[in-house]
Amino acid sequence: MAKNRQIELPPIEFEAAGSTSKEQKKLLATVEPTEGFPLMTLMCVDLIMRRVDLALFDFSAQAVPFRYQIDGVWMPMPGMDRESGDPMMASLKQLAGMNWQDRRTRQEGKFRALYAKQRYEFRIVSQGVKTGERVAVYVGRKRDPLDTLAQLGMREGMITKLAEILNGHQGISLCSALQGEGLTACWRGFLACGDRYMRDYYVIECEGRQEPEVINVNPVVYPAANNHFTPIPQLLLKEPQVLAFPDLVDGNDLNQMGELAAKKGLMILTRLAARNAAETISRILAMKPDLTRFGENLRVVLTMRLVRKLCTECRKPFPPTPQLLAKLGFPAGRIRMLYRPNIMRGDETDEKGNPIPICETCFGTGYVGRAGVFEMFEVGDALRKTILGGESRPEILQNVATENGQVRMQDELALLVARGITSLEEMQRVLTPPKKQ
């Protein structure tokens, strides 16, 4: 242990960058005595304990402000000065096999760590910017499997209804979510919802962009120079029942998908990025597909958003007013307690001036983990007529769907609030549209 190390470091084991064990050990032995190694070690443990997915450090001439992304939400953190930040980042870069002296060109590296019997991968990306340098630290960890819609949090009744539609004879079914907010996970659950054991499923993917395999969904990979319809003639000889297209480009794609559905009797699955089911349809219509073909073939639109779950160790109960329950759609007296997050900065004291310890589960954020909240439009006569009429405004599509019995996303969110799974603040965050730039 280096002489400049004055504190006892937590029991974390690092595996430095390198292609062989000898190279990794040699690099670690070089980094351990450096000035910034103790602070780098504490920072890595902090990222692990707080369940950080991404940390962003901005080095300016005077200071190093940084923030953490936890459960999809950015958390500002107390910054550090350059005297501490520079050696810490130098050690981090060295451990990842990067040139710590180069603060201008783009670099990328990684290393691994073992802490509390779990392995983590740290990926470092640095880039010089006008104000100095920006460094992103991505933390990879083993996560619970999210291979089905049930694991994502969809209600059993909704799963059953969706499966009935996807197991239908033919049509186009849409799946949507936001980029970086569960689009891939929702797509995997969407693929897994239908009967993949009695029906032949194929997913058509571009070479180099394949996603993790879903059991009993056969991947068909086409060269990047071609398009996703190139393998279709040969694939049709196998008499598939379901074709899935993860890459939806334009209206012509939809026209060809509609033709496959109508003429070959196939169920076509595809996806795109959108905030809710009405916006999904609106974005599809903006692609200018053949309205008749699309409107007649559309069967269902499923959208997922991710909501942060309240920390059950420290959440705070409060009795809702009748007015609040009415806004949520519940009768007065139906729900006795709702919950809010116990957000702490770390410097709070009780009435006697004693420090109040931060929750060891959520580290003062008030939330732990995320759950999916779903909105599903079954395309009935009224909504189909609206689409065939060329109406593309999301608010109109939403009103037609709601008037014909489709459950709104805000109603699904209200159920999660009522069950104490999430908070009113989180419900508002998810439902509030982004500000226009």
Look at residue 3 in the predicted model and tell me its pLDDT: 42
Whether residues 131 and 258 fall in one domain: no
Whether residues 171 and 282 fall in one domain: yes
Q: Rounded to 10 degrees, what is the CA torsion of 380, 382, 387, 393?
A: -120
**Domain end call among 122, 141, 160:** 141
Instruction: State the amino acid at position 425 in one-letter form.
Output: E
Whether residues 112 and 204 fall in one domain: no
Whether residues 137 and 157 fall in one domain: no
Residue 415 φ/ψ region, left for φ over 0, alpha for ψ in the -120 to 50 degree band, beta for the rest = alpha
Whether residues 278 and 180 fall in one domain: yes
**What are the structure tokens assigned to 86, written together?**
């520079």
Whether residues 129 and 222 fall in one domain: no
Nearest alpha carbon to residue 48 among 83, 11, 99, 2 = 11
E strands of 144-251, at which residues? Answer: 171-177, 201-206, 217-222, 242-245
Whether residues 96 and 156 fall in one domain: no
**Composition of the chain by helix, strand, coil, percent to 5:** 35, 30, 40
Range of the domain at 45: 12-141
Please indicate, yes or no, if residue 18 is contained in any of the structural domains: yes
Whether residues 171 and 254 fall in one domain: yes
Q: Which residues pair with 304 in a beta bridge?
A: 374
Query: Number of folded domains in the chain?
Result: 2
Whether residues 240 and 388 fall in one domain: yes
Q: How far apart are CA 394 and CA 269, in angstroms?
A: 22
How many degrees, rounded to 5, is the angle at CA 312 between CA 311 and CA 316? 85
Instruction: Average pLDDT across each block of 10 residues of the chain; the chain has 437 residues. List them in order.
Output: 61 95 96 95 95 95 93 90 95 96 95 95 95 95 84 93 93 94 93 94 94 92 92 94 95 95 95 95 95 94 96 95 92 91 80 84 93 95 94 94 92 95 95 76
Q: For the domain that residue 18 is a member of, what is the CATH number?
A: 3.30.450.90
Q: How far apart are CA 121 and CA 113, in angstroms?
A: 6
Task: Report residue 298 CA to chain centroid gap.
Answer: 26
Look at residue 357 in the predicted model and tell me its pLDDT: 87
What lies within 8 Å, CB to CB, of 184 at 6+ separation is 211
Please indicate, yes or no, if residue 367 is contained in any of the structural domains: no
Nearest alpha carbon to residue 277 among 295, 300, 302, 254 = 302
Please indicate, yes or no, if residue 398 is contained in any of the structural domains: no
Please indicate, yes or no, if residue 372 is contained in any of the structural domains: no
C-alpha dist (Å) from residue 431 to 276, 389, 408: 9, 28, 11
**Domain end call among 86, 118, 141:** 141
Please indicate, yes or no, if residue 321 is contained in any of the structural domains: no
Whether residues 259 and 385 fall in one domain: yes
Q: For the domain that residue 245 is a member of, what is the CATH number?
A: 3.40.50.300
Phi/psi of residue 274, nearest 5 degrees? -165, 160
**Domain end call among 141, 166, 200:** 141
Confidence (pTM): 0.86
Please indicate, yes or no, if residue 313 is contained in any of the structural domains: no
Please indicate, yes or no, if residue 194 is contained in any of the structural domains: yes
Whether residues 282 and 134 fall in one domain: no
